[in-house]
Amino acid sequence: MDACRADTSAEIAAVAARMVVEEGMEYAAAKRRAGKELGLSARAPWPDNAAMDAAVREYIAIFCPQEQAAELQALREVALVWMARLSEFRPHVAGAVWQGTATRHNDIFLHLYCDDPKSTEWALLDHKVDYQTGSVTGWRGEPVETLSVRARCDSLGQWVLVHLMLHDKDDQRGALQPDAQGRKPRGDLRALRALMDNEDPHPK
């Protein structure tokens, strides 16, 4: 990539990163809107996910490090509650809440592994929890059945969405394969607790 295209890619990433942090947008949607705002064509040098990760973390470090850290902590605490509640389904947290870039605008994504997806619905009914059914795109690009619930986050003074992505129990073997940056794309209850214990809750 030549210098001009590299500069354009970096500009897209910077604009998209603001949307990701301030609005909770997904990378793909944020890049499309950033390109539209910048008046770029479909042939623009779109930043990859690694570049977006870097831009998002840079935006957080510059504009909202303490606020974002507090909001991330609050969302992770909600994730812990639901992971403990649904422990029989071997939950793994993923997305921005796991990777550490989430703000109050992000949803929580939990991957569950079970013999029968209906058993998750029965568990929610046992807890008297209302849910909505739907689907999202999985890590292999396939549609994954999802149950979405609203959870109260008192620390943020708002409700957040928790999406329960239902997988066959055998899918767990591929769930912890490192991503393109060599990072674990999701973590179980113990891993999330360890992550929270080891991170500085008050970054400078």
Question: How would you list the strands of the sheet with 132-137, edge to edge?
Answer: 132-137, 143-153, 158-168, 108-114, 92-94, 186-187
pLDDT of residue 115: 87
What does each of the 204 residues of the chain score in pLDDT, given as a tens digit?
577 888 899 999 999 999 999 999 999 999 999 999 999 988 889 999 999 999 999 999 999 999 999 999 999 999 999 999 999 999 999 999 999 999 999 999 999 999 898 999 999 999 899 999 999 887 777 889 999 999 999 999 999 999 999 998 877 766 666 666 677 889 999 999 999 998 754 444
Quick count: other Cβ atoms within 10 Å of Cβ 74? 20
Report the number of distinct structural domains present in the chain.
2
- Nearest-angstrom CA–CA distance, 125 and 10: 47
Residue 88 lies in a domain: yes
Residue 142 lies in a domain: yes
Q: What is the 3-state secondary structure (H, E, C) of 5-64?
A: HHHHHHHHHHHHHHHHHHHCCCHHHHHHHHHHHCCCCCCCCCCCHHHHHHHHHHHHHHHC
Query: 152 and 79: one domain?
Result: yes
The residue out of 63, 84, 110 marking a domain boundary is: 63
The residue out of 36, 63, 90 marking a domain boundary is: 63
Give me the domain span that covers residue 37.
3-63
Query: 138 and 71: one domain?
Result: yes
- Judging by DSSP bridges, how do beta strands 143-153 and 132-137 pair with one another? antiparallel
Query: 72 and 40: one domain?
Result: no
pLDDT of residue 204: 45
